[in-house]
Structures are given as structure tokens and as C-alpha cells.
A = this chain, B = another copy of it.
Amino acid sequence: MKNARNIKDQLYEQVARIGKVFSSPKRLELIELLCQGEKTVETLSRETSISVKLTSAHLRELRMAHLVETERQGKNIYYRLADKSVADLWVQIHTLAENRLIELQLALQKIATQPNDFVPSNRESLMKAARKGEVVVLDVRPTEEFLAAHLPFARSIPLEELRQRLSELPKDRSIVAYCRGPYCLMAKDAVELLRQEGYTAIHLRDGVAEWAVASSL
């Protein structure tokens, strides 16, 4: 019957609304930032180098798909992900992309800290070592993002303050630095700085969203 076709069209149409949100590079970057905690339009605009107006327009798309919520606090409007599963979906999509697209693998190799960054296989051993204090897990994101959520046992030193605060870190233990996720360059920069200064530093590709997904498997 023709009616069935009609109903099905409606169903797929609705699901595609969610897919559309994840089909634009700029929106993906906004989503990744929102995975770090709630943020104002201005902050999102600045961090992504997208104009405020265009940021607002993209956020509107996210809002209309009910993937983000807004809250007014004084002059500013804060955006946050409507549900943890939005972050999960971002992680699953970029993971699939990394597995399937050679082009992405090549682009990622360019920014990988040599020789090897931390890979999924040893998340458990990393936690064990962090618990015992054998390694220092270092969060180099801005303080607000650390406060919103961070990895277990992590210590916060934002990248901009790292050079001044080097003395807080031990030279006799490995330092595992992480930031917003595999597409964020802050941890890479931190590791380079630390190595120059004689520390043993390792780059963990995970951000909090990636870690959360991996931990729940």
C-alpha cells in the first residue's frame, strides 16, 4: 500500500535530521567542543575561528535537532549537549571515519607525536599506573573544561600555563598528556614542550568523550 511508503518516508526523514547535524565539518567541531562542557556562542566562535553569526546559525541546527540545550546566564547564552549519547555518537562517527578513510589516517599521522602515542590497548594499564602514581596524567585543556569533566587521577595544567608551571611536574616519571581528543593539537604541543625540557612525555589521543565510550565497553 502507498500509505506504508509514506510512513517510512517520515521515519527516515526524522532520523536524517540527526544525520544532517553530523554532515558539516564546522558543526562537528562545535560538537567536539561542546563535549568538553557548556560554552557560550562567543567562546565557541573564538575557539573554532568561525564567525559569531555563522556559529549561531550552526548552533541553531543543533538546537532544532534537539541535540543541544541552551541556558541564559546573564548576558550570555550557554550551550550544552542535550545528552551524553550525543558525545557517544560523535566518538563513534569519528572512530568509524578513522577506520574507514585512508585520507583521515594519513592526515592524523602528520599530527601524531612521534614515536608512538597511547593507543586503546593499554587504557587499563594506564589507569593502573596512574592510580599507583607511577605516571602523571596531565590535562592541558583550559581549567573550565577540566572542571566540567576529566580523566581519573588527572592533574590540570592548561597549555598556556605549562611553561611557567613545569616545576610542578616530576622528571622521574612519565607524563601522559591529553586534551580534547584526537583532533585537538594541545596535547601534541604539550608533549613537544615537555620533551624539550627533558621530561618523559607521552601523547594520549583520547579526550573525555573517547575515554567514556571506551570505558563503557
Contacts and interface: CB of A to CB of B under 8 A. Distances in A.
B110 A82 contact: no
Nearest to A13: B25
Pick the most buried of A18, A25, A96, A110: most chain B CB atoms within 10 A of its CB. A18
A15 B88 CA distance: 15
A22 B17 CA distance: 9
Interface residues of A, number: 52
Contacts of A22: 16, 18-19, 22-23
Interface of A is mostly: helix
Given A19-B24, A20-B23, A100-B65, A29 B14 contact: no
Nearest to A32: B12
Contacts of A89: 92-93, 96
A96 B103 CA distance: 28
A58 interface: no
